[in-house]
Structure 1
Amino acid sequence: MSTRTRTSTPSAAAEGTTAAGGVATEGSAPLFVASLGVRWRDLDAFNHVNNANYLTYLEEARLQWLQQVRDWFSEESMPVLAASELQYRQPIAWPASLHVELRCARLGTSSMTLAHRIVDADDPSRLYCDGHVVMVWMNPATGKPVPLPAAIREAGAVVAATT
C-alpha cells in the first residue's frame, strides 16, 4: 500500500465517482464536515502550513466522521489508509479556521474512496486542497482485505444516492 501526494491543477478526475455512478462534485452533499483550527506549530519556514499537516487535517476529519458511525471496526475488521492524493491549491496562513469536507466518492467490496476538500471556514470559495483517499478494511491478524462493515456501506450509500 502506498501514499501518493501530488500537486496539480483542478480536474474532474480529482472529484471521484460515487457508488450511484455519478460524480462527487463540490456541490454534492458532504458525508461530513470537520471544523479545524490551524495551529502555530503547523507552520513551516515559509510561514504557511507545511504540506504534511494537510494529511493530519484529513486524518482528523476522517476520525471525527468515524466517531459518528457505529460498528466501523472490530477485532477482525479495521481500516487502513491505502492511498492518498492531494492537490495543493493555495497556501494556508496562520491564523485560519478550516472546514474539511468529506464525500463518498466510491464504495468497493473492501474499500471506500473519500473525496476531500479543505476550505476556509469563513470563505468556502477559498479552496486550499482537494483530492481523495482510499481506505481499505482488513483483518489485522491476517493482513487480508475484508468486506466493508455494513455501517460504513450504509453511511456512504446514503450520501452517494443523494448526489
Structure 2
Amino acid sequence: MELPFETELQVRFRDLDTLGHVNNAVYATYLEQARLRYFDRVLDVPWEEREMVLASQSVEFARPLTLEDGTIRVACGVTEVGETSFRMRSRVFAGDDGDPAATADGTIVAVAGGEPREIPESWRERFIEFEPGL
C-alpha cells in the first residue's frame, strides 16, 4: 500500500535508550509528529479546531533506529474513514533505506466535549481529495 504523505525527522540523542537504540516509546512521538504534519497539509484546519483523539495504536518493529541513522522518514496516510473514526497507517524509514524500520496502524476518533462525534464532512472530503483511493 502506497502512503501519500512523507515527512523527515531528526534522530536526537535524547531519543536513545541505554543500548543506543531509539527507545520504543519515542516511535509514538515520531508517529504523532507525522500525523500532525499530515493534518496540517490535508485538513487545512487550525490545530485548536482538530478535535480528535488517538484511540489505539500498534507498532511492529523491524529493525532498531540509531543516532547514526541521522534522519528518519515517516510516511503516513488514511486507510479507512468511518462514521466517528478513521484509521491511519504509518511507516518509519531510516534515511534512504527502502525497508521500513517500523510499521504502525492507529485509530483516531473525532470528539466534541470528550465524546465521539461524526467525522466532519469537510475532513472526509479532504481525505478523499488527498487520497483518491479511499
With the length of structure 2 as denominator, give the TM-score of the two structures: 0.88
Bigger strand fraction? 2
The equivalent residue for 2:100 is 127
Alpha-carbon deviation of 1:32?
A: 1.6
Return the match for 2:55 from 74, 82, 94: 82
The equivalent residue for 2:92 is 118
The CA distance in 2 between the partners of 1:116 and 1:147, in whole Å, is 23
Tell me: CA distance 1:73–1:60, structure 2 relative to 1, closer, same or farther (3 Å). Answer: closer
Alpha-carbon deviation of 1:159?
A: 4.4
Return the match for 1:101 from 75, 97, 121: 75
Structure 1 stretches of at least 4 aligned residues deviating more than 2 Å after TM superposition: 71-75, 149-152, 158-163
The equivalent residue for 2:34 is 61
The CA distance in 2 between the partners of 1:84 and 1:71, in whole Å, is 23
Higher relative contact order (CA 8 A, sep 6+): 1
Alpha-carbon deviation of 1:95?
A: 2.7
For 1:1-163, what aligned pairs fall within 5 Å after superposition? 25=1, 28=2, 30-68=3-41, 69-71=43-45, 78-96=51-69, 97-123=71-97, 125-139=98-112, 141=113, 143-162=114-133
Identity %: 29
> How many aligned residue pairs are there?
132
Tell me: CA distance 1:150–1:71, structure 2 relative to 1, closer, same or farther (3 Å). Answer: farther
Point out where structure 1 has 5 or more consecutive residues left out of the alignment. Answer: 1-24
Alpha-carbon deviation of 1:73?
A: 6.4
Point out where structure 2 has 5 or more consecutive residues left out of the alignment. Answer: none
Instruction: Indicate the SS of the match to 1:151.
Output: helix
Structure 1: which amino acid aligns with 2:123?
I
